[in-house]
Amino acid sequence: MSEVAQRLEPLIRARTDHPGGDERALAVALAEALARRGADQVEVVDVPRQGQKGAYVLARFGRPRRIVNAHLDTVPPNAGWSRDPFAPQIVDGQEGARLVGLGAADTKGAIAAILSALDEERPRDLAVLFSGDEERSGTCLRAFLDSGAAKGIEQAIVCEPTGCRVGTRHRGVLALEARLCGEGGHSSRADELPAPIAELARLAVAWDDWGRAQRGRGPAGFLGMCLNVAALDGGIAFNVVPSEARLSISARPPPGVEVGAVRDELLAIAKRRMPAATLHVVVENPPFLTRALETFRPLLGALVEQPIDLGFWTEAAMLSSAGIDAVVIGPGEIAQAHAPDEWVAIDQLERARAIFAALFASTREAHGAG
């Protein structure tokens, strides 16, 4: 069996599905594994959040200027699994062997590859961060950035399933909610009572019109804001005028567009059209764009010559917003992530191990050259 696959199996057995799993238990186990591999300093940091304890583990080799990050949490098992999602199994496929298990591609396979690479090469002036809560609200990475532990770090390699290709751009995510209240009452009084649903429907159309007008905005490959009117809720029966209505929308600003500017535009429309509505920002995650890809060549070699765009959001955007230039790379494909019978190809795990081993070796070579 592949050495990387062997390291991946216990990671899958460790339940870190969110909610319900135990991120801290796996963080502690990974801290011990990193200490055995020669890290100068290892710490497990608890990150409390509503309903569950979160955690991350940070290992430092020297004085870090670069960081490699993978998240240790997973989504809950999707419906349709044909086997126990926490019992890893190697199966043969048309294109070779694969390991099936929850988190195999997203992103415990990357953690296994990093540990295997550390068995071969000890990096210098690099940190390894295995963080929780990526699949929900990003509390762990935010806590890491807020702690000051990122001081001095200039570059980040963020692990997500990219087929071991270098991802350099993706959209941001913005979600807004509008609420409007009225008196409510019998529908025979509808002509004299406020109509929260109808009023918010007008706002929904105004927001949708804005989104349609933005379809030429953004860089090639990422045109438009992907504005989505997601839900309009309220009311209990045909003969009852509702006392409250809720409207939910989302937008996905492209790379190079400030998510805050899009937020302000949409909130301004709401305040003009519906000043009585209560507005709430539900999610505000920035877009991502690698600023200086060529500076990653010493770490990733020729992989930087064929970068790819990503169709999904990653925490590389948070690191980039904090001033740390980043790329995204890891074993597996996004098509398998979050899916029933999630899997990663064994040859992808081995390729990732080789990529990380070369990366770790390059940090020592760069130091020697300096």
Over range 112-127, report the average pLDDT. Answer: 98
Query: Quick one: pLDDT at residue 308?
Result: 98
pLDDT higher than 50, residue 137: yes
**Alpha carbon distance 214, 238 (integer Å):** 36
Percentage with pLDDT > 90 across the chain:
92
Asked whether the beta carbons of 320 and 326 are under 8 A apart, the reply is yes
Q: Where are the alpha helices (DSSP H) in 193-287?
A: 196-213, 259-273
Count other C-beta atoms under 10 Å from residue 335's C-beta. Answer: 11
pLDDT higher than 80, residue 90: yes
173-285 maps to CATH 3.30.70.360: yes
pTM of the model: 0.92
Count other C-beta atoms under 10 Å from residue 133's C-beta. Answer: 25
Give Cβ neighbours of residue 251 (< 8 Å, ≥ 6 apart).
174, 211, 225, 226, 227, 228, 262, 266
pLDDT higher than 50, residue 16: yes
Over range 3-13, report the average pLDDT. Answer: 97
Over range 128-137, report the average pLDDT. Answer: 95
Query: Quick one: pLDDT at residue 338?
Result: 94
No. of helices (H) and no. of strands (E), the chain: 9, 18
pLDDT higher than 70, residue 259: yes
Task: Pull the structure tokens for residue 43.
Answer: 């710490």
Query: Quick one: pLDDT at residue 94?
Result: 76
Give Cβ neighbours of residue 323 (< 8 Å, ≥ 6 apart).
none
Backbone angles phi, psi at 183, to 5 degrees: -75, -40
Question: Residue 353 is inside which H or E element, if any?
Answer: helix 346-369
Reported as a pLDDT band with limits 50, 70 and 90, residue 227 is very high
* Residue 96 Rama label (left phi>0; alpha psi -120 to 50; beta): left
Asked whether the beta carbons of 170 and 317 are under 8 A apart, the reply is yes
Query: Quick one: pLDDT at residue 369?
Result: 46
Query: Quick one: pLDDT at residue 368?
Result: 53
Class of domain 3-169+287-369: alpha beta
Percentage with pLDDT > 70 across the chain:
98
What is the per-residue pLDDT across 244-258, written as a single tens digit (0 to 9) for each?
999 999 999 999 999
* Mean pLDDT score of the chain: 95
What is the per-residue pLDDT across 149-195, written as a single tens digit (0 to 9) for each?
999 999 999 999 999 999 999 999 999 999 999 999 999 999 999 99
CATH 3.40.630.10 region(s) of the chain? 3-169+287-369
Longest dimension (CA), the chain: 83
Q: What is the DSSP letter of 333?
A: B
What is the per-residue pLDDT across 261-294, written as a single tens digit (0 to 9) for each?
999 999 999 999 999 999 999 999 999 999 999 9
**Alpha carbon distance 357, 363 (integer Å):** 10
Query: Quick one: pLDDT at residue 370?
Result: 42
What is the per-residue pLDDT across 33-68, written as a single tens digit (0 to 9) for each?
999 999 999 999 999 887 678 999 999 999 999 999
Over range 124-130, report the average pLDDT. Answer: 98
* Residue 332 Rama label (left phi>0; alpha psi -120 to 50; beta): left
CATH 3.30.70.360 region(s) of the chain? 173-285
Count other C-beta atoms under 10 Å from residue 19's C-beta. Answer: 12
Instruction: Work out the burial of residue 260: count CB atoms within 10 Å of its CB; fewer than 13 is exposed, 13-18 middle, 19 or more buried.
Output: middle
